Amino acid sequence: MTAVDWLDLSLDTPEENLSLDEALLLQADSDNGGPVLRFWESASHFVVLGISNRADVEADLGECLRAGVPVLRRTSGGGAVLQGPGCLNYALVLPVPDEGPLSGLLSTNDHIIGRHAAALSALAPAPVTRAGTSDLAMDGLKFSGNAQRRKRRWILFHGTFLLDFDLPLIGRYLQMPSRQPDYRRDRPHGDFIRNFPASREDVKEALRRTWKADAVRGEIPRETVARLVREQFSRSEWNRRVLPEP
């Protein structure tokens, strides 16, 4: 297995945290970085859209505006999620081989989600299962959503783990999704999601062992992060734009 670095780093703002995921992918793709597993958690609430989502369809923009909750957009696919304290994020940057499980979009989902389900089952009182395209669930309730962004030689695979999140806020700031997996069965947010019953330290360690992420990543591409915040993630033109699914 390719050696993977470990980076446990939450930056100050939602825009910076989204930018760092992207910057780590761009750094690897330019041959200045390498595989890395990052964890982060936002100190404030914000909505993040998938790259093809419409803000006015997926988020309650009026409620977000009243509460001062930003609505941002990431570079990967998938649906809109609410971020904030109690929602642990991870990002994996891995090389894309010519063949094998990471060589295609669907097989990448199978491989990574399957490994995470196996790792987290050891922490759970009930089986952790893959659900939908790229969710993790326990007892039919979702606690993790995941998405990917692919370049020719590298992939960013990232997602969330609800641990001690204020779950009713999800229904406050998000509308019912325009696209939903079959297993959701039109359930409202409150009947579809749950927190995963494990500590963030245990979840981090389970994934760190899974990916054999032993070496600590020291420097990060701060100039690229600042540029991405300035030119992309803080701009309304980006956050309200509708882009095709990658």
Domain boundaries, the chain: 4-239
CA distance 232 to 190: 32
Please choose, from the candidates 52, 45, 42, the residue with its C-alpha nearest in 3D space to the C-alpha of residue 18.
Answer: 42
CA distance 106 to 121: 22
> Token pair of 171, please?
């229904």
Query: Residue 154 — pLDDT band, cuts 50, 70, 90?
Result: very high
Query: Residue 245 — pLDDT band, cuts 50, 70, 90?
Result: low
Q: Looking at residue 31, what is its pLDDT?
A: 86
CA distance 126 to 108: 25
> In 3-state terms, what secondary structure has residue 92?
strand
Q: Is 240 left (phi over 0), alpha (psi -120 to 50) or beta?
A: alpha
pLDDT digit string, tens, across residues 80-128: 999 999 999 999 999 999 899 999 999 999 999 999 999 999 999 999 9
pLDDT digit string, tens, across residues 21-46: 999 999 999 988 899 999 999 999 99
Model confidence, pTM: 0.95
- Superfamily of the domain at 4-239: Bira Bifunctional Protein; Domain 2 (3.30.930.10)
